[in-house]
Chain A
Amino acid sequence: MPDDKNLNLSPKPSDRIAKTTCYMCACRCGINVHMKGDEIRYIEGNRDHPVNQGVLCAKGSAGIMQHLSPARLRSPLKRVGKRGEGKFAPISWEEAMEMATSWLKPIRENDPKKLAFFTGRDQSQALTGWWAQQFGTPNFAAHGGFCSVNMAAAGIYTIGGAFWEFGSPDWDRTELFLMFGVAEDHDSNPLKMGLGKLKERGIRTVSINPVQTGYSAVADDWVGITPGTDGLLIMSLIHVLMKTGQIDLDYLMRYTNAPWLVIRNPGQADDGLFLRDKDNKPQVIDSKTGKTVAFDTAGIRPQLKAEIKVKSGGVATPSFMLMVDEWLDETYTPEATEARTGVSASRVYGLAKSIADAAFSREVVINEPWVDWKGERHETMIGRPVSMHAMRGISAHSNGFQTCRALHILQILIGSVESPGGFRFKPPYPKPAHIHPRPAGKADQVKANTPLAGAPLGYVLSPDDLLVDADGTPSRIDKAYSWDAPLSAHGLMHMVISNAYAGDPYTVDVLFMYMANMAWNSSMNTRGVIDMLTETDPETGEYRIPKIIYSDAYSSEMVAYADLILPDTTYLERHDCISLLDRPICEPDAVADAIRWPVVEPDRDVRGFQSVLLDLGARLGLPGMVDDDGKPLYADYADYMTNHQRKPGIGPLAGFRGSDGTAAGRGAPNTNQIQQYIENGGFWSEELPENARFFKMANSHYQDFAVRMGFFDKPEPYVFQIYSEELQKFKLAAEGHGKVQPPDHMRDQIKTCFTPLPVWYEPFEGSAVDAKTYPIHALTQRPMAMYHSWGSQNPWLRQIHGHNPLFIPGNLARSLDVTDGDWVWVESHHGKIKVPVAVMEGINPNTVWTWNAIGKRRGAWQLDKDAPESRKGFLLNHLIHELLPMKGDGLRWANSDPITGQAAWYDLKVNITKADAGDHPVIEPDFPVIAAPPDMPERPDVLRYGDTIIAQELAQEIAQNKKGESQ
């Protein structure tokens, strides 16, 4: 018999399990952290958690290694060498806080906007935004501007919520699923779980993506579209569906602004605006009476085809008629779009047919009576079971906002948003633009020693809301909400450094950043940004950006470029709040929020950033952070999470409120709240009533629920905005109407891009460079097993992605005569890199791609300077510039979407030539080694994680055996 008497089939996995929230990425899954003594034995998914229901991704499973990374910062640091040299002295927290206070206090006392506070991959914007507001600076944003603001804003302005993780396909009911430009998404695990469910039910999935990996690899249908042309494909689908009558008229009349009357009065100030009554309510024509009535009148049946005369001159017609005019046009026939999109006409017909079949032949009916916002009762919920999802593939283009809008409109036209089987919102969405606040920060709102009148980020509804002064100068350092990017709902983090450097529109005194690796992978034009961070003013000898405070948890590339480092804890060592006030973790059927709490204590002199921020706020005497005596109101972040109230009864956490912890949504603070979260597995959730689960924008049961939970103070029913009056207002301004006027040189661009119904235009970089010189599209994709730059310090994950080849299509490989492992030069209008290639067939024939953020600067992340990440790993960022090449008008236009300012990462066009790799092929550009901060631990040569746990286990076993023997 085999000698397996040592085999223990039932070892005790852990002494105790601590349930908290993963932060190996922004998906925020629930985790069970198994502890053996003080060591982490194992991390698994929490089965009860709404987000991941027990599963865990590769990154989450590598959490132990992140937590123990030798790249963890160890104490506050003060720069002692030159910027970029990486020379620091460790200092005490007291000294660090004093230093920060001494830098910030004078700013607040003189001109608060001289502080630019930008947070990166942060999930505590409810706190950080409020802090900026209390400080009084308008210069606050998180990373959304370079990430996917097109997607977010287009969603909010069109259907009151976006894809991201704010909604979800109705996985259990959908009959057809289409993905546009999704590699991994923020909703990582839920998307995968959903795809698994669809496969189990045998539901057809379609992926529209130039690259066939991951989700696209398992799709039943892969459409390898030419990058930047999705808008055309979508409008071509709309064209076919409309022409063949495959649209949901009842839905359009009830839930959208298709029947709203639009004034058609060319050249006049009211052209393209909605016809409104004296209460300012948009008007429709009731077909029963033929009368013009307010859109929300109960019992009417609005007309979709009509024309009436309006007093100001001109006529008014339902916006639906404009849609028909637009999309029935010949420009959108599949035959007309196929050359540009690379998707054949017959394939477009095929897709349209699949959509129509699923939506209208496989209607889903749920027998659940409900009452709509007008008081009309419906016996059933009728669903159009076609669901869609999209992400940065359509968002990160300069035409992304309109493309994203077009996609939402496609969903609406077939009646699938918020209907069973379609796309479903997660509470508190839908929450349309007009319910969100306007951004605060107009010049007259920024005053010394005074909080800003409102939150720095918000949604503008017309040019009047822009943050520009009388001559059009932007009020914000990133020029968000200026004519450069009027609907920039997330700010423009990617412009902060270059604008502050150039003093355009003004200089700042302190740049305060948190969790963003701006000196490397999150910047376009990385080399340029590094120079801007290190350049001094020859006259004063001072840095162009005088002071930089940065909070990171690890020794990232950015650390060397800051003057003061506030080292954060790892995610297992701190309190965090995944709040409904921020990016919630709700599900379509349930509201939910969650916490993190220290499941292990830090072994270094580090502090949770949020606690530090509150401390700093108290030292600066910021209102809301100090009591009347100027003493700190909150001991730390945990205290704030429990006791802070945004409005009476509403705080960072919605669960276990009220003095006895039984209230949900609204309720008095509960001193035991965090403990109750911990006992509940680190999260709280409450299911929506059955009759509130669909048509949330129009469902009175849901609206009441939302008020009860504190999402709104009164019901806020919403009508989907296919026709965007907001955009039309900007267009009118460009035509010369209104008092807030764009600079003349921008008028044409605004007129073409700010159309109230989506249009497609060629991505800017593509039209700015010569298509013959730069014929190839170059993209990045998220690797599922890596999170941006911060995964490479993880010894498990970096074995999977230690470097990245440029994947090139077979046809291109053959014409260049290169094969796997050969090296090529990739050149854009801005730069040139030398990289290794891998050949692959599943790519659009004019496209190349690589994994994002694998390339690392030598010396960073406590990796060996010859780590593969630096020798063979590279960034495409060196080829991408934040500005477009010269057009000949003397101006350099931004390489972003003109509507939201979204960075147009995926507009990149390149030229590829074979390179001579030489004997020691190394990526070019090869940046000099960056010095590690002081006192970093040695890199072990061998890692045997678990040996002490195993030893412990053995000792326990032996002890137990002895006990057994002696008994």
Chain B
Amino acid sequence: MRPAASLIIFTTLSGLGLGLAALIGLGYLEAKSSQWIIIHAAMCLGLIGAGIISSTVHLGHPERAWRALSQWRSSWLSREGVMAGLTTIVLAGYFLDQLYSGVARPWLGIIVSILSLITIYTTAMIYASLKTIARWHHVLTPVVFVLLALAGGCLLAAALQALAGTASTAPLDVPLTQWGIGLIALASLVKIIWWVNAGKNGSGSTPESATGLGGLGEVRMIMPPHTEENWLQHEMGFVVARKHAARLAIIAFILAAILPLLVLGLYPQSAALLILAAAIHLAGVMMERWLFFAEAKHTVTLYYGDRH
């Protein structure tokens, strides 16, 4: 699948914003002043909003985007839209309430967290629900999305905390930076399991089943229906060389996991380094997301000479 910048930005930024929101909802990050409430709100809503705006750029008709809220009963994209909207509203309410009342209401925070996690899940399910793309159609796909969002959120929260100079309010008395280490490690582990396994056995479809000509033997495409690339091939026929992909995966791993882990482990107090780590992590996740698209093969390519 062609990695579209708009979708990479959408899934990574809104994931990061929602991850942060989930942690804030759980009370991981206390705002020491109303100024900080506004900063937290701006971070969460800004990231989520940027993601959503980016996703509409991808549309042929962004002005009709509101229509996408209607089909939540069957469509994960619609559900994502609804959930993103709902979460944004509740999240905004949560911050406003906090701003006016001066207290963060835990029960509302829990709702925010749950909504945020569900939203990340719905984002992931847009992809994971597609049977046509075996790589994505895997139980761990949403887990990876959620864990990466939380890990990123945690890293960002730790940075914000260091910047504000407040003490950790994280549960079990474990500092955010250590939660960060745990979440990044877990996300990496799950991602690696996913990377190795997802779609390994293909979609179950082959050129033979795609054409129904398997009875005659191995099926090869000899002439495409058109000699220049069409939209389908442009969109779904994108291929990345295996060697190239492996190299990128390692870089993504270093950026998204290794470097942030080093910072978290070695300089947990340095706000500057934590901010840098969060940025590097985001770049790594974007690369991960690029590969998520680039390495995914769609069954339609079976009609264009591909074997999965």
Q: Would you list the 7 A-B pairs with minimal beta carbon distance, nearest first?
A: A802-B227, A799-B226, A840-B222, A802-B228, A803-B227, A800-B226, A868-B228
B78 to chain A, nearest CB (A): 14
Question: In the complex, what distance in Å separates the CA atom of A840 from the CA atom of B225?
Answer: 16
**With a CB–CB cut-off of 8 A, which chain A residues contact B220?**
841
Chain B, residues 265-308, CB within 8 Å of chain A (1/0): the string is 00000000000000000000000000000000000000001000
Please, how many angstroms separate the alpha-carbon atoms of A802 and B224 in the complex?
11
Shortest beta-carbon distance, A937 to chain B, in Å?
23
With both beta carbons as reference points, the residue of chain A lying nearest to B223 in the complex is identified as A838
Interface members, chain B 193-236 (any A CB < 8 Å): 220, 222-223, 225-228, 230
- Residues of A at the B interface (CB closer than 8 Å) are 799-804, 807, 820, 838-842, 868
| Cα A370 to Cα B230 with chains together (Å) | 60
Interface size on B, residues (CB 8 A): 9
* Alpha-carbon distance between A628 and B74 when the two chains are bound, in angstroms: 85
**From residue A760, how far is it (CB to closest CB) to chain B in Å?**
32
Q: Which residues of B contact A799 (CB under 8 A)?
A: 226-228, 230
B-side contacts of A840, CB under 8 Å:
222
Compute how far the CA of A802 lies from the CA of B226 in the bound complex, rounded to whole angstroms: 8
- Across-interface contacts of B227 in A (CB, < 8 A): 799-804, 868
What are some 18 contacts across the A-B interface (CB < 8 A)? A799-B226, A799-B227, A799-B228, A799-B230, A801-B227, A802-B226, A802-B228, A803-B227, A804-B227, A807-B222, A820-B305, A838-B222, A838-B223, A839-B222, A840-B222, A842-B222, A868-B227, A868-B228
B305 to nearest A CB, angstroms? 7
B225 to A, closest residue via Cβ? A800
Nearest opposing residue in chain B for A799, CB measure: B226
The answer for the CA separation of A324 and B223 in the assembled complex, in Å, is 47
**Cβ of B223: which chain A residues have Cβ within 8 Å of it?**
838
Complex: A804 Cα to B223 Cα, angstroms: 10
Chain B residues with CB under 8 A of A800: 225-227
**Residues of chain A lying within 8 A (CB to CB) of residue B225:** 800
- Cβ–Cβ < 8 Å partners of A868 in chain B: 227-228
How far apart are B68's CB and chain A's nearest CB, in angstroms?
A: 14
Rounded to whole angstroms, the CA-CA distance of A807 and B220 in the bound complex is 14
Please give, as numbers and ranges, the residues of chain A lying within 8 Å of B228 by CB-CB distance: 799, 802, 868
| Distance in angstroms between the alpha carbons of A136 and B114 in the assembled complex | 96
Residue of A whose beta carbon sits closest to that of B305? A820
- Which partner residue on chain A sits nearest B226 by CB separation? A799
Residues on B with beta carbons closer than 8 Å to the beta carbon of A802: 226-228
Which partner residue on chain A sits nearest B227 by CB separation? A802
Which of B220, B223, B226, B227 has most A Cβ within 10 Å?
A: B227
Cα distance, A513 to B277, chains bound together (Å): 75
Known A-B contacts: A800-B225, A802-B228. Give 13 more (CB < 8 A). Answer: A799-B226, A799-B227, A799-B230, A800-B226, A802-B226, A802-B227, A803-B227, A820-B305, A838-B222, A839-B222, A840-B222, A842-B222, A868-B227
Interface positions of B from 242 to 283, Cβ below 8 Å from A: none
Give the complex CA separation of A564 and B259 in angstroms.
74
- Name the distance in Å between B67's Cβ and chain A's nearest Cβ: 10
Closest A residue, CB atoms, query B70:
A3
Closest A residue to B230 by beta carbon equals: A799
Q: In whole angstroms, how far apart are the Cα atoms of A656 and B139 in the complex?
A: 76
A801 CB contacts on chain B under 8 angstroms:
227
Interface residues of B in 164-205 (CB under 8 A from A): none
A842 proximity list for chain B (CB < 8 A): 222
In whole Å, how far is B213's beta carbon from the nearest beta carbon of chain A?
12
State the CA gap A807–B228 with chains docked (Å).
Answer: 17
Query: Which chain A positions have C-beta within 8 A of B226?
Result: 799-800, 802
In the complex, which residues of chain A have a beta carbon less than 8 angstroms from the beta carbon of B222?
807, 838-840, 842
CA distance A75 to B220 in the complex (A): 49
Select from chain A the residue with minimum beta-carbon distance to B222: A840
With a CB–CB cut-off of 8 A, which chain B residues contact A841?
220
CA distance A799 to B225 in the complex (A): 9
User: A155 to chain B: closest CB distance in Å?
Assistant: 33
Find the B residue at minimum CB distance from A838. B222
CB distance from B20 to the nearest CB of A (A): 38
A75 to B302, CA, bound (A): 49
Q: How far is the CB of B85 from chain A (nearest CB, A)?
A: 21
A283→B116 CA distance, assembly (Å): 104
Chain A min CB distance to B232 (Å): 13
With A and B bound together, what is the CA distance between A907 and B222 in angstroms? 25
Closest Cβ of chain A to B227, distance in Å, is: 4
Chain B nearest CB: distance from A470 CB in Å?
56
Q: Once the chains are docked, how many angstroms separate the CA of A275 from the CA of B225?
A: 60
- Rounded to whole angstroms, the CA-CA distance of A802 and B225 in the bound complex is 11
What's the least CB distance linking B33 to chain A, in Å?
Answer: 50
Distance (Å) between the CB of B234 and the closest chain A CB?
14
The complex places the Cα of A803 from the Cα of B225 at a distance, in Å, of 12
How close is B22's CB to chain A, nearest CB, in angstroms? 36
How far in angstroms is the closest Cβ of chain B from A215? 15
How far does the Cβ of B212 sit from chain A's closest Cβ, in whole Å? Answer: 16
Distance in angstroms between the alpha carbons of A839 and B220 in the assembled complex = 10
Query: Separation in Å of the A781 CB from the closest CB of chain B?
Result: 12
Q: Which residue of chain B has the shortest Cβ distance to A840 in the bound complex? A: B222
With CB as the reference atom, state the residue of chain B lying closest to A854: B227
Measured CA separation A524–B267 after assembly (Å): 77
Of all chain B residues, the one with the shortest Cβ separation from A801 is: B227
CB distance from B88 to the nearest CB of A (A): 27
- Give min CB distance, B228 to chain A, whole Å: 5
Once the chains are docked, how many angstroms separate the CA of A486 from the CA of B216? 50
Contacts of A803 in B (CB 8 A): 227
- Shortest CB-to-CB span from A841 to chain B, Å, is 8
A801 to B225, CA, bound (A): 9
A842–B217 Cα distance when bound, in Å, is 14
User: Which A residues are in CB contact (< 8 Å) with B305?
Assistant: 820
Per the bound structure, the CA–CA distance linking A868 and B228 in Å amounts to 8
CB distance from A217 to the nearest CB of B (A): 10
Q: How far is the CB of B220 from chain A (nearest CB, A)?
A: 8
* Nearest Cβ on chain B to A220's Cβ, whole angstroms: 14
Shortest CB-to-CB span from A814 to chain B, Å, is 14
| Measured CA separation A800–B225 after assembly (Å) | 6
Chain B: CB-nearest residue to A867: B228
* Cα-based distance from A309 to B56 in the complex (angstroms): 99
A4 CB to nearest B CB, Å:
14
Q: How far is the CB of A351 from chain B (nearest CB, A)?
A: 23
Q: Give the CA-CA distance A799 to B231 in the complex, in Å.
A: 12
Cα-based distance from A799 to B222 in the complex (angstroms) = 17
A804 to B225, CA, bound (A): 13
Q: In the bound complex, what is the Cα–Cα distance between A14 and B226 (angstroms)?
A: 30
Cα–Cα, bound, A799→B229 (Å): 9
With CB as the reference atom, state the residue of chain A lying closest to B67.
A3
Q: How far is the CA of A802 from the CA of B230 in the complex (A)?
A: 12
Question: How close is B133's CB to chain A, nearest CB, in angstroms?
Answer: 24
State in angstroms the CA–CA spacing of A807 and B222 once bound together.
9
Please report which residues of chain B, range 37-87, place their CB below 8 angstroms from some CB of chain A when the two chains form the complex. none
Chain A: CB-nearest residue to B221:
A820
A803–B229 CA distance with the chains assembled, in angstroms: 12
Q: How far is the CB of B84 from chain A (nearest CB, A)?
A: 23
Question: Chain B: which residue is nearest A804 at the CB level?
Answer: B227
A587 to B228, CA, bound (A): 40
Shortest CB distance B230–A (Å): 8
On chain B, the residues within 8 Å of A807 by CB distance are 222
User: Which residue of chain B is the closest to A783 with respect to CB atoms?
Assistant: B223
In the complex the two chains form, what is the Cα distance from A804 to B227 in whole Å? 8
Considering the chains assembled together, what is the distance between the CA atoms of A871 and B8 in angstroms? Answer: 35
How far apart are the CA atoms of A447 and B225 in the complex, in Å?
56
Which chain B residue has the least Cβ–Cβ distance from A807? B222
How long is the Cα–Cα vector from A820 to B223 in the complex, in angstroms? Answer: 11
Q: Report the minimal beta-carbon distance from B242 to chain A, rounded to whole angstroms.
A: 17
Min CB distance A728 to B, Å, is 47
In the complex, what distance in Å separates the CA atom of A803 from the CA atom of B226? 9
Residue of B nearest to A810 (CB): B220
Report Cα–Cα, A42/B220, bound state, in Å.
36
How long is the Cα–Cα vector from A807 to B221 in the complex, in angstroms? 13
Q: Give B4 Cβ to nearest chain A Cβ, in Å.
A: 21
- Whole-angstrom distance from the CB of B69 to the nearest CB of chain A? 14
In the assembled complex, the Cα of A954 lies from the Cα of B195 at a distance in Å of 52
